[in-house]
Amino acid sequence: MNTRFSRILMSTDLRYPIGRFVPPLRATAATRSAAITAIAQAPDHLRDAVADLTHAQLETPYRPGGWTVRQVVHHVADSHVNAYVRLRLTLAEDVPTVRPYDETRWAELVDAKHMDVQASLSLLDALHERFVALLQSLGEDDWQRRYRHPESGEHDLDYLLEMYAWHGRHHAAHITALRDRLKWR
């Protein structure tokens, strides 16, 4: 078993149920393939996580002071739209500076607070179909392309890949851990 992965699964911090993101030390064809698979599966994992939840359950924060389950689902869609745009910018431009966004404020907008989660789940299905197709098309040189994030610095596409593979699992785990704690299964 991968020791890094087994270590992160043991987190008891409600903010990081699978552990904090750990940037890749060295990417290989196998690690990239596994991360692309995780991105491909993210919409289904999120859909499974919220399956059969009631309105009241969707309005439950995943942790004290945290977002509601509804906001988490909409946040994943918001974040992954941004990731896809960042990927495309990085492939089309030389070390583009990507635009950050205030995810906390986005989570407070009316659509994230009140819309049916199905809208974001449907968006994720289509988005991830394109995201995965583009990721699978990259050659070795493409993975070395870089972008600059004003808050976190310069990164290559292996970093983006691993970050969003983790991100989907991270937020699905917020919901499944809540379901387990509250015995909603």
Please give the structure tokens belonging to residue 78. Answer: 């918001």
pLDDT over 70 (residue 2): no
In tens, the pLDDT along 140-149 reads 999 999 999 9
In tens, the pLDDT along 134-176 reads 999 999 999 999 999 999 999 999 999 999 999 999 999 999 9
Question: Which residues, at least 6 apart from 165, have a Cβ–Cβ distance to it below 8 Å?
Answer: 34, 35, 36, 38, 39, 42
Question: Which residues, at least 6 apart from 5, have a Cβ–Cβ distance to it below 8 Å?
Answer: none
Would you call 64 helix, strand, or coil by DSSP? coil
Whole-model pTM: value is 0.92
In tens, the pLDDT along 53-90 reads 999 999 999 999 999 999 999 999 999 999 999 999 99
Q: Please give the radius of gyration of the chain, using alpha carbons only, rounded to the nearest integer.
A: 16
d(CA 172, CA 139): 30
Q: How far is CA 155 from CA 87, 102, 169, in A?
A: 11, 20, 21
